[in-house]
Amino acid sequence: MRDRPVPRALIVLLGIAGAVIALFGMREVASILGPVFLALVLVIAVSPVRGWLDRRGAPAWLQVAVPFTIVVLVLLGMVAVLTVSATQLALLLPEYAAEFQKLLTDAQNFVTARGVSNEQINRAIQAIDVGRVVGIAQSILSSLLGVLSSLFLIVVLLLAMCLDAPVTARVLAHGQHRQPQLVTALTTFAQKTRRYLIVSTVFGLICAALDVAALSILGVPLPLLWGVLALITNYIPNVGFVLGLIPPALLALLDGGVKEMLLVIGAYVAINVVVQSFILPKFLGDAVGLSTTMTFLSLLVWTFVLGPLGAILAIPLSLFARAVLVDSDPSAGWASALISGPQGQPSSATSPSGAPPSRAHTDASDGAAPPAQPQPQVQPHTQVHRTSPPDPRA
């Protein structure tokens, strides 16, 4: 009896079930998986420093010490700024309780004049409590303490990965002959992640500096905290700008009223729209290789799995998943094009119709004009001289 093929619907259902099980399993170990991947991304970001030292003939210990020191100093600096600023915020919020109540009273008078009943207004006001805002600030401090507690784990992982970086490079070079697709996919993941981090960090620093300057001019309290927050939320795709705007805008509303809040919103929109919509795409290009829909879905999925750290690492995590599951499989070219959206190109192994690509199609995809096809040579016409038969009358 011939084996019957497995139905495609069953394969799809099994794949979805496996993905759900894997995601929930990663969620259970998020406190370990998040720091591990963060350390990996940071090591990838500073790997050009190790390569530069290697080409200059630096000793092995220096190739490990310099990248490790750079990453640790950056982490400690950001954690210190966030901790000090969040502490100041927690102490500052209770001072705005009177302004908050005044805003609620003004809002109540405004909606009452528009015909809303007092009973509905009272229920809405009872749901709003200034103590909850202070509680949110305290929860932020608690989460920062959690980051500090996991900072030791991140530092140890960074040291271990920096020590293993030369060995990992040799292993990948040796495996190029046995698993070329997998090694190429991992190399592409590292290159795309590095470019994404470098470009996003540079322009994030520019946006953060301009935001701090604008907030300082407008007189909004704690401008350095909001600048660091803008830098961190810069790595969150799609909604990072909004998340970085809400806290300073609300504080400006409490500190200076609606006019100051609108000025803050206008300054943030002007700075971020110009930098992220017009300047950043020219430098970043299609380095990410993810469509807009896949980027947003990545944000939702990885935030669900790893929490806030997953939102920050959504793009590198998706690039890693694509490298392992899609780019390393020669038969998954259709999935690569689907994930990349309009930027995805058909696989070089087959044309869209499934046939091998022609030479002209391959050259056109490389950006070069196809070579001229040789013209068939015309054979010279050879005149055949026929000998007439002899005349029988002769």
Identify residue 391 by its one-letter amino acid code.
Answer: D
Take residue 56 and report the two structure tokens written for it: 């200059």
- Determine the distance from the C-alpha atom of residue 384 to the mean position of all C-alpha atoms in its chain, rounded to a whole number: 76
d(CA 372, CA 204): 48
Which of 133, 123, 136, 142 is closest to 100 using CA atoms? 133
**pLDDT at residue 188 in the model:** 87
**pLDDT at residue 370 in the model:** 43
d(CA 57, CA 51): 10
267, 218 in Cβ contact below 8 A? yes
Who wins on pLDDT, 134 or 155? 155
**pLDDT at residue 115 in the model:** 65
**pLDDT at residue 350 in the model:** 38
- Averaged pLDDT score across all residues of the chain: 75
**pLDDT at residue 283 in the model:** 65
**pLDDT at residue 75 in the model:** 83
Instruction: Dump pLDDT digits (tens) for 229-245.
Output: 888 888 888 778 888 88
3-state secondary structure of 226: helix
Who wins on pLDDT, 54 or 143? 54
d(CA 39, CA 56): 25
Residue 197 has pLDDT above 70, yes or no: yes
**Among 28-42, 117-131, 263-277, 305-319, which is the least confidently predicted range?**
117-131
Residue 373 has pLDDT above 60, yes or no: no
Report the pLDDT averaged over residues 192-199.
87
Report the pLDDT averaged over residues 300-305.
90
Domain ranges of the chain: 14-108+129-343
Determine how many CB atoms are found less than 10 A away from the CB of residue 84: 13
Report residue 25's pLDDT band, with 50, 70 and 90 as the boundaries: very high
219, 255 in Cβ contact below 8 A? yes
**pLDDT at residue 361 in the model:** 39
